[in-house]
Amino acid sequence: MITLSFFISCNSDEKTNDGSSAKITNEEIITNSKIDASVEDITNIAEDQFNSQLNITAKAGGPIKNFLPSCATITTVLTNNTWTKTVDFGIEGCTLNNGNTVKGKMVVSFSNDFSSSTQTISYTFEGFYHNGKKLQGSKSIVRTIKETNILVTPHPVSTASIDLTITFDDGKVYTRKGSLVKEMTSGYDTWFDWDDNAFVVTGSDTTTFPNGDTFSAEITTPLEFKASCRKSFAVKGIVSVTKNDASAVIDYGNGECNTLATVTKNGVTEEIDLKK
């Protein structure tokens, strides 16, 4: 599942004379959107592997249109009632359908007891890179079928625990921890067609930047995603970001398939392109 938050770094020359924290810049928000895109894609890869095995076991039919590109090699092993699926994107890497590139391996595991309404999906990385950033650490997703205030029909609800280290290609290291809840609101009954998936995300997390600054982000209005947009960004929703006495509000818009968002700081609102 998925996850979105924006966190900002600063340096000493950005500090004000009275020692208060520097302002949150749009450039820093854009940098952090790259981390959000990584979290979003690895969540989708893990859930895609669970869903494909679930429906293969159930012998569900339909033309396959998975999240993964054809260049990914998948090795599946069942040991002691636990599925382990190694997804190898190769040394040269693969391009996902949203344009992001991945290389290396993700190892996804989960129980063979598909009769249970609650499942835990775990995954780790082996030399894994997303758009040139190296990802390390682990993540678990607790997946439950249930009714919620968002959708009364029983549907997949996934709670993701995030604990990742992200190393950018310039050597700077970031860490991210948090918990996000992803509710699949459309497409859960057509597992073979990823493009009709839609979901909302709530929750919060924190990120520590290379200079030690810690940032907090809270989704104040659920973030909405549409797989058909082929973008790893929300199309709607609001995130509130704070760092000491600095704050910003990011609004993802009205549901259009683009990479634009508006940022409000100190009463001033402007539009930015998160893909910049």
Q: Which residues pair with 82 in a beta bridge?
A: 79, 111
Q: How far apart are the C-alpha atoms of 131 and 129, rounded to whole Å?
A: 6
Give residue limits of the domains in the chain: 22-273
Q: Which residues pair with 73 in a beta bridge?
A: 88
- Per-chain mean pLDDT for the chain: 87
Q: How far apart are the C-alpha atoms of 199 and 160, rounded to whole Å?
A: 14
Q: How far apart are the C-alpha atoms of 141 and 131, rounded to whole Å?
A: 23
Residue 234, judged by CB atoms within 10 A of its CB (0-12, 13-18, 19+), counts as: buried
| Statement: residue 6 has pLDDT above 70 | no
Check residue 19 and give its pLDDT: 37
Residue 110, judged by CB atoms within 10 A of its CB (0-12, 13-18, 19+), counts as: buried
What tokens were used for 204? Answer: 């919060």
Check residue 276 and give its pLDDT: 59
- Mean pLDDT, residues 8-18 taken together: 39
| Statement: residue 9 has pLDDT above 60 | no
Q: How far apart are the C-alpha atoms of 268 and 137, rounded to whole Å?
A: 38
| Statement: residue 11 has pLDDT above 70 | no
Nearest to 1 by CA among 175, 140, 188: 140
Q: Give the predicted TM-score (pTM) of the model.
A: 0.87
Q: Which residues pair with 88 in a beta bridge?
A: 73, 105
| Half-sphere exposure (Cβ direction) of 253: Cα atoms closer than 13 Å | 16
Q: How far apart are the C-alpha atoms of 142 and 122, rounded to whole Å?
A: 9
- Mean pLDDT, residues 127-131 taken together: 97
- Mean pLDDT, residues 16-37 taken together: 72
Least confident interval from 48-62, 161-175, 182-196 = 48-62
Cα→Cα distances 78→58, 86, 112, 120, 221, Å: 16, 12, 8, 16, 40
Percent of the chain scoring above 70 in pLDDT = 88
Q: Which residue has the higher pLDDT, 157 or 276?
A: 157
